[in-house]
A and B are shown apart, each in its own frame.
Chain A
Amino acid sequence: MFNPRTFLEFARQLSLPNLGEVEYSTAIGRAYYSVFLVAREELNARGGEVKQQSPIYANLEHSKVRERFRTGRFKHSGVASRLRDLYLLKVRADYEIAGNAITKEHVDQALEYADYIFRVFDRLLFRGSTVFQDQP
């Protein structure tokens, strides 16, 4: 299985100084999907039931994943809050076309959110995971 964490490394490559909005927007999107896809697969493997069978309802997966970190056995307010903010940066990066909507500052903050979330995944919520065998 492809490990979505590699998206985060790609995002880091696009976070260097003096790059443009195309690179920075792409970096934020990859950082978000790195976290979202790992969370979705890990939650689903543990009975979290976040994956939708029909692609028509795939857009519900974003809120379902976040909901699992807000209440219940995967509750972690730190993860839920950072995932919300990372999602909103992703939305801004995807849809806002006004000049300077996304800067290096936004990318740096997005990467910090992703780093925190993965630390909690590895140390607490999904410790010892076997979903992604090549997980660092």
Chain B
Amino acid sequence: MPLLTKDVLEAGKIVVNEIRKEISNGLPVRDVTLTRLDDYDAGQWSELVFQIKVSLDTEAANEAWDRILDKIDKITESKMVDKSTRAALAEKIGVSLWWH
């Protein structure tokens, strides 16, 4: 089954919007890449992950990452978007921070 479905693209737009808001609020981003990640051992999962390189110390980076995940969780648990997009948000889209 292809990973890049309409629902995943819709979920991706939501994540991009949250990242955009974070950058507007001062998140010091060095680079953002979108990468496909797979379960190498058993092929049980695949995800599209926004990998964000930031210029922050460990504590601030962990806080920023958790803040982004929390916002995405809230959208996933709400009825703001349709069910299939929520499923894609929960299972097929990820956000990753890198600060070293």
Contacts and interface: CB of A to CB of B under 8 A. Distances in A.
Most buried by B among A60, A77, A105: A77
B66 interface: yes
Contacts, number: 54
A63 interface: yes
Interface of A is mostly: helix
Nearest to A94: B40
A87 B37 CA distance: 10
B94 interface: yes
Contacts of B62: 78, 112, 116
Q: How many of chain B's residues touch chain A, expressed as a range?
A: 20 to 34
A104 to B, nearest CB: 8
Contacts of A108: 100
B41 A62 contact: yes
Given A62-B42, A63-B44, A109 B99 contact: yes
A63 B41 contact: yes
A81 B96 contact: yes
Interface of A: 59-60, 62-63, 66-67, 70-71, 77-78, 81, 84-85, 87-88, 91, 95, 105-106, 108-109, 112, 116
